[in-house]
Amino acid sequence: MSHYKSNVRDQEFNLFEVLGLDKVLGEGEYSDLDPDTVREMLAESARLCEGPVAASFVDGDRNPPVFDPNTHTVTLPESFKKSVQAFIEGGWDKVGTLEELGGMPMPRILVWAIHEHVLGANPAVWMYAGGTGFANILHHLGTDEQKKWAELAAERGWGATMVLTEPDAGSDVGAGRTKAVKQDDGSWHIDGVKRFITSADSDDLFENIFHLVLARPEGAGPGTKGLSLFFVPKFLFDPETGEPGERNGVFVTNVEHKMGLKVSATCELTMGQHGIPAKGWLVGEVHDGIAQMFDVIEQARMMVGTKAISTLSTGYLNALEYAKERVQGADLTQMTDKAAPRVTITHHPDVRRSLMTQKAYAEGGRALYLYTASYQDAALAKAVHGVDAELAAKVNDLLLPVVKGCGSEQAYAKLTESLQTFGGSGFLQDYPVEQYIRDAKIDSLYEGTTAIQAQDFFFRKIVRDKGVALGHVAGQIGEFIKNESGNGRLKSERELLAKALEDVQGMAATMTGYLMAAQEDPQSIYKVGLASVRFLMSVGDLLMGWLLQRQAAVAIAALDAGATGADKSFYEGKIAAASFFAKNMLPLLTSTRQVIDTIDNELMELDEAAF
Three-state SS at 82:
helix
Question: CA 524 to CA 238: how far, in whole Å?
Answer: 57
Annotation marks residue 447 as catalytic: yes
Residues 6+ apart with CB under 8 A from 535: 454, 457, 458, 504, 507, 508, 511, 596
Q: Which of 50, 268, 447, 493 is catalytic?
A: 447
Residues 6+ apart with CB under 8 A from 324: 344, 346
Amino acid at 203: D
Residues 6+ apart with CB under 8 A from 93: 87, 129, 130, 131, 132, 133
Residues 6+ apart with CB under 8 A from 458: 511, 528, 532, 535, 536
Three-state SS at 191:
strand
Q: Are 33 and 80 in contact (CB under 8 A)?
A: no
Q: What are phi and psi of 244, to 5 degrees?
A: -65, 145
For every residue of 296-353, DSSP letters joined together read HHHHHHHHHHHHHHHHHHHHHHHHHHHHHH-EEEE-GGGTT-TTSPEEEGGGSHHHHH
- Which among 474, 447, 464 has a CA at the least distance from the CA of 539? 474
Question: CA 192 to CA 212: how far, in whole Å?
Answer: 14
- Angle (deg, nearest 10), helices 349-373 and 565-584: 100
- Which among 237, 33, 87, 247 has a CA at the least distance from the CA of 151? 237
- Which among 4, 6, 12 has a CA at the least distance from the CA of 567? 12
Question: CA 167 to CA 460: how far, in whole Å?
Answer: 26
Question: CA 119 to CA 101: how far, in whole Å?
Answer: 22
Q: What is the 3-state secondary structure (H, E, C) of 533-596?
A: HHHHHHHHHHHHHHHHHHHHHHHHHHHHCCCCHHHHHHHHHHHHHHHHHHHHCCCHHHHHHHHH
Q: Which H helix or E strand runs over 250?
A: strand 250-255
Question: CA 165 to CA 65: how far, in whole Å?
Answer: 21
Strand segments, DSSP code E, in 66-219 are: 66-68, 73-75, 159-163, 179-182, 188-198, 209-217
Q: Are 454 and 532 in contact (CB under 8 A)?
A: yes
CA torsion through residues 298, 301, 307, 313, sign: negative
Q: Which H helix or E strand runs over 114?
A: helix 108-121
- Active site (catalytic) residues: 447
